[in-house]
Amino acid sequence: MLFNSFVFLLGFLPAALVLHGLAERFRPDWRLPVLLALSFVFYGWWDARFVPLLAVSILVNWLVARAFLASGRRWLIPAAIAGNLATLGLFKYLNFFADLANMVPGAALAHPDWVLPLGISFFTFHHVMYLTDLRAGRAPAYGLTKYALYIAFFPQVLAGPLVRWSEVMHQFDERPYARPDAAERFGRGLMLLCVGLAKKVFFGDPLAGYVNPVFQAAAAGKVVTVAEAWQATLGFTFQIYFDFSGYTDMALGIALLFGIVLPQNFDVPYRAASLSDFWRRWHMTLSRFLRDYLYIPMGGNRHGLPVQLGALLATMTLGGLWHGAGLTFVAWGAAHGLGLGAGVLTRRAGIRMPRLLGWALTALFVVMTWVLFRATSFEAALAVFKGLFGLAPMGSGFKWKTILVAALVAMLGPTAWAAVHRLPPSRWLAAGFAVLFVVLVLKIGDDANYDFIYFQF
């Protein structure tokens, strides 16, 4: 069930709000079970076969946590984390490892071609965060219902944001509609939902029409012209931003409708003046996960420069692999690891560059590496790079207007969260957003309606 679908916007979400509101009003002790049941319905709508996988994953990890607290056997937690990662690997990386093995002469491993369960990367990382903090003594024990809701809460189960247990567990105990600001929070949740959907419908999906044909041509071995290469690369730069930040805004808004505040995930990333600044602004919850659960345990910046550079490269390479089971994703992550390492060396050398130059170099690096992220193979990426560097026919028909408007909105405007919280409540504002929602619903029914990009991860 997609956030940008009729069945969700006009069916599931209104019904879920009514059921949750009735439970919160008349049977507060039913609120969490109702939310959990709704989350499983939402998850199972896509493919009911994977509901048992999610349920068993929750139950097993919760039982391991209970067993660890009861026995103190520290090996239980690493074993559980290894089991979670192995499950992720079976569903997501079997084809990838088969392809690597088939590079050996004489090897001929078949592709299992298992269907990838939606959200498995995200709920696996939620398990890892909780279990790691539990072993370190930072996380307490929770009941099964509350832990299950932490993992399966439907606004964030499919594509994040990655939520730490400490950010959300205490909110499950609140009476959200009894708060004095309940109506205002509900209204701002609806606004966030509309803004996120507008990002997807007005920018993300139209840009996909400029991007997909070019990368499909590159994958088919066709020559990509200079105009096509720049159109597709710049188009994807802003397509992925509006697509993913739009999804996140919708997730934050939907969660707010149910009384839960989720962490923000974007902070105008294309205004970043360095690569480290970019990663503090882009997919912020993943960045801090990689920092706290990979980079720092690998040594971080505490054990000398070589260890720090190696930890950066390893962390970002694994982050690239997490995004997709392909060598192009690995190369994308490794490139960012090398770029972050170069930033460390530059700062160590005392080199300070003007902010405008830092922004220009960061933007150029990010834009160029998006080619690796989007291309389906190195051959396809090379075809696009040839166009970018002028090693192909010039071509014509560069569609710059939509890209320019998208760039201005992405780089000059505030975050959706900041914008909706600055707007004072008013009847005219409510009427305006009501009209916007109607327009968005009509446009969803009229135009191509693409899946969110991060659903594939």
Instruction: Give the 3-state secondary structure of the chain.
Output: CCCCCHHHHHHHHHHHHHHHHHHHHHCHHHHHHHHHHHHHHHHHHHCHHHHHHHHHHHHHHHHHHHHHHHHCCCCHHHHHHHHHHHHHHHHHCHHHHHHHHCCCCCCCCCCCCCCCCCCHHHHHHHHHHHHHHHHCCCCCCCCHHHHHHHHHCCCCCCCCCCCCHHHHHHHHHCCHHHCCCHHHHHHHHHHHHHHHHHHHHHHHHHHHHHHHHHHHHHHCCCCCCHHHHHHHHHHHHHHHHHHHHHHHHHHHHHHHHCCCCCCCCCCCHHHCCCHHHHHHHCCHHHHHHHHHHHHCCCCCCCCCHHHHHHHHHHHHHHHHHHHCCCHHHHHHHHHHHHHHHHHHHHHHCCCCCCHHHHHHHHHHHHHHHHHHHHCCCHHHHHHHHHHHCCCCCCCCCCCHHHHHHHHHHHHHCCCHHHHHHHCCCCHHHHHHHHHHHHHHHHHHHHCCCCCCHHHHC
Query: In this structure, is the dihedral angle defined by the CA atoms of residues 120, 50, 376 and 368, taken in order, positive or negative?
Result: negative
Q: Do 270 and 392 share a domain, yes or no?
A: yes
Domain-embedded: residue 78? yes
Same domain, 254 and 166: no
For the cut 70, the answer to whether the pLDDT of residue 337 exceeds it is yes
pLDDT in tens, 368-384: 999 999 999 999 999 99
- Amino acid identity of residue 20, one-letter, is H
Same domain, 400 and 412: yes
- Does residue 359 lie within any of the structural domains? yes
Q: Of 122, 155, 180, which marks where a domain is finished? A: 180
Cβ–Cβ under 8 Å, residues 239 and 192: no
Mean pLDDT computed over every residue of the chain: 93
Shared domain for 226 and 165, answered yes or no, is no
Asked if residue 57 is part of any domain, the answer here is yes
Q: What is the pLDDT of residue 61?
A: 97
Please report which confidence band the pLDDT of residue 429 belongs to, taking 50, 70 and 90 as the band edges.
Answer: very high
The tally of domains found in the chain comes to 2
pLDDT the model gives residue 457:
63
195 and 162 share one domain: no
400, 401, 377, 382: which is closest to 392 by C-alpha? Answer: 382
Note whether 88 and 324 are within 8 A (CB): no
Does 109 reside within a domain? yes
51: pLDDT strictly greater than 90: yes
Whether 168 and 221 map to the same domain: the answer is no
Express each pLDDT in 80-131 by its tens digit.
Answer: 999 999 999 988 888 887 778 777 777 777 777 777 888 899 999 999 999 9
Looking at 126, 283, 323, 336, which residue is catalytic?
323
CA distances from 152 to 3, 39, 55, 124, 127 (A): 16, 6, 9, 11, 11
| pTM, to two decimals | 0.93
Question: Is 1 among the domain residues?
Answer: no
Q: What local confidence, expressed as pLDDT, does residue 106 receive?
A: 74
Q: Examine the pLDDT at 193 and tell me if it is beyond 70.
A: yes
Together in a domain, 276 and 198: yes
Residue 415: closest CA among 195, 259, 207: 195
99 plus 199 within the same structural domain: no
The stretch 229-251 carries a mean pLDDT of: 96
114 against 39, higher pLDDT? 39
Q: Is the same domain home to 287 and 428?
A: yes
Give yes or no: 170 in active site. no
Q: Answer whether residue 230 shows pLDDT above 90.
A: yes
Q: Give the pLDDT band of residue 47 (cuts 50, 70, 90).
A: confident
Whether residues 369 and 406 fall in one domain: yes
Same domain, 229 and 319: yes
Residue type, 40: F
Residue 144 forms part of a structural domain: yes
If you average pLDDT over residues 59-81, what whole number do you get?
A: 96
Q: Which of the two residues, 172 and 444, has the higher pLDDT score?
A: 172
Domain end among 180, 213, 240: 180
Structural domain containing residue 62 = 6-180
Q: Provide the pLDDT confidence category of residue 324 given band limits of 50, 70 and 90.
A: confident
Q: 215 and 290: one domain?
A: yes
* End position of a domain, from candidates 158, 180, 202: 180
Question: Is residue 138 within 8 Å of 175, Cβ to Cβ?
Answer: no
In a domain, 116, yes or no: yes
